[in-house]
């Protein structure tokens, strides 16, 4: 897999299609703090988006798509001076995949998807994203339009298998939005996500992800990028925000953490599969990166994942819990 697919697979995205939201006239709706990543695509109309902690509100209109990856309360409104209505009162009793009409409907319609993160390494992705990812350029919206229209059709005209189709479309929108965000911010962003838009850095990162057990050296990674050792080291640190060897160690431990939680493989086997000759050397590296021993991590994360699974409600609101 490519690095973005690798990380998304570690996050264990569970997609819930929250359905559609339709509103008319002047309105203002406040949504509670969501868990996981929220995705929205506007089909018709326009409104303001205000997110807690973000100084300026954004104007969103038909064709726009936006992600809210940081779990903050937010508001959608035609007029932000209006007293907001709590979303929980609007969505009470709405089934997943349904459409809720507010204030008569007819002027504004959007579809939303919720991505619960069952993986233990959510911060790897979320820490590299701003509170809002707004896809609004016309050329970018053209790429998203097909998925949006198909989701809208599945919600308005339910057919057998429609819920599964809508889930897959929501996942496609999420990946496409991340791609476009990377492309738009490649000249200003720092982190592994933005580094994927850099041809030379991406080559090195792809090599590490493809064969994490290999005895990589700074020289061999520089060769993958087609650069000198010194230039590569400086460029990687500048673009990714950490050294190549630190990134490699982190990726190996993230892979290890996933297997500790989601497989019955013994620690010795996991260690060898990631290039460590002994369990003790692997355990030392794991504790340095992850802050605890492999055995402690497996027990702690397994309990956390179970708690998150049991705590997840139906996740049927556009804002979600």
- Please report the pLDDT score of residue 318 as a whole number: 41
Higher pLDDT pick, 319 / 91 = 91
pLDDT class of 319 with cuts at 50, 70, 90: very low
DSSP 243: -
Lowest mean pLDDT across 105-119, 161-175, 184-198:
184-198
Tell me how far apart the alpha carbons of residues 266 and 277 are, in angstroms, rounded to a whole number: 14
Higher pLDDT pick, 304 / 72 = 72
- Residue 146 has which token pair? 């097909």
Tell me how far apart the alpha carbons of residues 29 and 79 are, in angstroms, rounded to a whole number: 10
**Rounded mean pLDDT, 266-272:** 95
Q: Specify the residue for token string 């500790």.
A: 260
List, for residues 3-50, the tens digit of each pLDDT value.
888 888 887 777 666 678 899 999 999 988 877 788 888 989 999 999
pTM listed for this prediction:
0.73
- Please report the pLDDT score of residue 313 as a whole number: 37
**Rounded mean pLDDT, 278-306:** 83
φ, ψ dihedrals at 289, nearest 5°:
-85, -45
| 287 has pLDDT over 90 | yes
User: Which range, 32-36, 180-184, 279-283, has the best average confidence (pLDDT)?
Assistant: 279-283
- Please report the pLDDT score of residue 125 as a whole number: 64
Tell me how far apart the alpha carbons of residues 57 and 223 are, in angstroms, rounded to a whole number: 45
Domain map of the chain by residue range?
Answer: 7-185, 192-305
Higher pLDDT pick, 87 / 309 = 87
Positive/negative CA dihedral, 173, 40, 96, 10: positive
- Please report the pLDDT score of residue 145 as a whole number: 72
| 2 has pLDDT over 50 | yes
- Please report the pLDDT score of residue 204 as a whole number: 97
Specify burial of residue 306 (Cβ count, 10 A radius: 0-12, 13-18, 19+): exposed
Tell me how far apart the alpha carbons of residues 140 and 65 are, in angstroms, rounded to a whole number: 10
- Please report the pLDDT score of residue 244 as a whole number: 97
- Please report the pLDDT score of residue 172 as a whole number: 81
161's CB contacts (< 8 A; 6+ apart) are none
Please give the CATH number for the structural domain made up of 192-305.
Answer: 1.10.10.60
Lowest mean pLDDT across 115-119, 178-182, 228-232:
115-119
Torsion of CA 18, 160, 308, 91, to 10 degrees: 30
Tell me how far apart the alpha carbons of residues 192 and 302 are, in angstroms, rounded to a whole number: 26
- Please report the pLDDT score of residue 310 as a whole number: 46
Question: Which H or E element spans position 48?
Answer: strand 46-51
For domain 7-185, the question of CATH label 3.40.50.300 is answered with: no
Of 158, 155, 173, give the one whose Cα is nearest residue 100.
155
Tell me how far apart the alpha carbons of residues 254 and 192 are, in angstroms, rounded to a whole number: 14
């Amino acid at each position: 897999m490519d690095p973005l697919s690798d990380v998304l697979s570690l996050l264990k995205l569970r997609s819930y299609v929250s359905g559609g939201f339709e509103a008319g006239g002047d309105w203002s709706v406040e949504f509670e703090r969501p868990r996981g990543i929220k995705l929205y695509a506007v089909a018709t109309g326009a409104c303001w988006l205000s997110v807690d902690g973000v100084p300026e509100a954004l104007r969103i209109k038909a064709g726009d798509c936006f992600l809210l990856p940081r779990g903050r309360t937010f508001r959608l409104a035609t007029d932000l001076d209006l007293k907001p209505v709590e979303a929980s009162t609007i969505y009470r009793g709405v089934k997943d995949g349904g459409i809720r009409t507010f204030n008569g409907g007819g002027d504004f319609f959007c579809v939303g998807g919720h991505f619960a993160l069952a993986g233990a390494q959510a911060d790897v992705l979320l820490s590299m994203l701003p509170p809002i990812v707004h896809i609004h350029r016309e050329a970018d919206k053209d790429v998203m339009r097909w998925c949006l229209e198909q989701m809208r059709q599945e919600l308005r005209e339910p057919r057998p298998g429609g819920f599964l189709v809508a889930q897959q479309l929501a996942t496609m929108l999420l990946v496409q939005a991340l791609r476009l965000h990377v492309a738009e911010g490649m000249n200003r962003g720092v982190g592994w996500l933005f580094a994927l838009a850099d041809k030379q850095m991406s080559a090195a990162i792809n090599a590490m992800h493809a064969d994490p057990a290999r005895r990589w050296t700074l020289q061999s990674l520089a060769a993958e990028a087609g650069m000198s050792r010194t230039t590569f080291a400086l460029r990687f640190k500048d673009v990714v925000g950490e050294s190549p060897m630190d990134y490699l160690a982190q990726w190996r431990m993230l892979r290890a953490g996933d297997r500790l939680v989601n497989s019955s493989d013994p620690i010795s086997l996991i260690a060898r599969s990631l290039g460590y000759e002994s369990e003790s050397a692997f355990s030392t590296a794991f504790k340095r990166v992850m802050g605890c021993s492999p055995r402690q991590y497996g027990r702690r994360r397994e309990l956390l994942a179970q708690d998150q699974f049991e705590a997840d409600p139906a996740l049927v609101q556009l804002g979600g819990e």
